[in-house]
Structure 1
């Protein structure tokens, strides 16, 4: 059954059995996992990082960007998760999929090249808060409450 909405659960560990229409989010492991929204049952893993997917939480709903294109699955489903809603997108051609994968690879290379350069720079007030914690540590603490 094709889904038009999805709920979310913040978890430390992704459960072995995934419920339909639930996006499991592990901040600890920087990943979000769900069953394909088309209903085929395949497990969809979306790594959360600036080079992969970004997760947005507004206090009530979650969104993932960019879109989820399950090109390796038989269903080849393509959709966005926006404010807990599944917004269906058109199917991509093989040529467009290849171009998208090439762009994604290039984006990852640029991201990691920038991280290597930044690793040699001292930390600044923008990267550490007054208590000496990173923004990610602050978010983890907030989600544990």
Structure 2
């Protein structure tokens, strides 16, 4: 959990190392105290075996072969999902920074309510 990543040997038995990062747009893992589930499916499209599986409650469930066309479509979907997620996250950060700058600007001039109270007390 420290590195937000799971690493395991490919479930087909080829011995290749499979890295699955835990991010909002990649994989997630649950551990119920006895077993592990890793979702969504793992597609080893860059390895010779091209295995495709899900790990559910410590069991490997084969998910079948994907064509090159389907793999490319999934890669495009994944890129869009990442771009959308990180664009929204960046917009939130920019919005928070703008709000902070605006609040700091008010603080430097005494703040809106502070200036209003001063005006009323004249």
Q: TM-score if structure 2 supplies the norm length? A: 0.74
Match of 1:51 among 25, 35, 41: 25
Moved over 4 A (4+): none
- Helix, strand or coil at the partner of 1:75: coil
CA distance in structure 1 between the aligned counterparts of 2:59 and 2:92, rounded to whole angstroms: 36
Larger radius of gyration between Structure 1 and Structure 2: 2
The residue number in structure 2 matching 1:88 is 62
Q: Which runs of 5+ in 1 are unaligned?
A: 1-26, 123-145
CA distance in structure 2 between the aligned counterparts of 1:30 and 1:104, rounded to whole angstroms: 19
1:114 has 2:88 as partner? yes
Q: TM-score if structure 1 supplies the norm length? A: 0.63
Q: Which runs of 5+ in 2 are unaligned?
A: 98-122
Aligned length: 96
- Between structures 1 and 2, the one with greater helix share: 2
CA distance in structure 1 between the aligned counterparts of 2:13 and 2:48, rounded to whole angstroms: 12
Quote the RMSD (CA, aligned, Å). Answer: 1.3
CA distance in structure 1 between the aligned counterparts of 2:90 and 2:31, rounded to whole angstroms: 28
